[in-house]
Amino acid sequence: MDIDKPKPKPWHGRADFLKEVVTIVIGVLIALGAQQAVEWLHTRDSVAETREALRAEAATNVGATRFAVQEDRCYLKALDMYEAWAKGAPKPEVPYISAPGPMDTVWETAKSSAVTHMPLKEKLGWARLYAGVSNIRALGMQQRSQGQQVRGYLGLDSLETPEARSLIREVRTYRGIMTGKLSNEQRFLVEAKALGVVSGPFGGYLTKDNVANLERLCKFVGEKPDLSS
């Protein structure tokens, strides 16, 4: 049995040909436009989600950094007691410090993806803030390493002249590291404020044990930490 198949309607001149072309072009443009709209919505949602995550991470960092500023200020004064010991004063029983450091998990995850779609001013602001995080973390590693060097002398009952001289050198190196770290921490807080990042007193770092350790350290050098900062 023969089945008649529909035959394409023949074009009648240039007008019909152009009509077909225009119809095809419009269809393609509609499809592309719909695809771009979907991509734009996805990018917008991704940027909004990333912005929220960055602000949450930065708020935690602000809290930890505020704590570290208080701690570092008091510990810088405690270093004077190490140097005094090397010059003949009694051996100091300097309390330990917690040395909290900022995090950059969200930034490292999103800086090459969603962050690239943010407005330039905002993108540069986050880049500056997390450059500060990188500096603080690097100095924090130096702080912990040098701190072990200095505290190692506390295992000695007394210091001979060579040991005393060596301790003075170690303390002065330590002081330079902590001064630089404190400066970077203060700059970080300024950059965070410029981005509108807010945090309660010390953020999530305001725990009973951490506050007790901070108060013990500052009391040791005759200071009182500002727990409302």
Which tens digit of pLDDT belongs to each residue from 54-103?
999 999 899 889 899 999 999 999 999 999 999 999 999 888 888 888 99
Q: Tell me if 53 sits within 8 A of 105, measured CB to CB.
A: no
pLDDT for position 38: 46
Going from N- to C-terminal start, the domains of the chain cover: 14-220
User: Is it the case that residue 153 has pLDDT exceeding 70?
Assistant: yes
pLDDT for position 44: 73
* Structure tokens, 160: 């001979």
User: Is it the case that residue 107 has pLDDT exceeding 90?
Assistant: yes
Axis crossing angle, helix 208-220 with helix 14-86, rounded to the nearest 10: 40
The amino acid sitting at 208 is K
pTM for the predicted model, two decimal places: 0.79
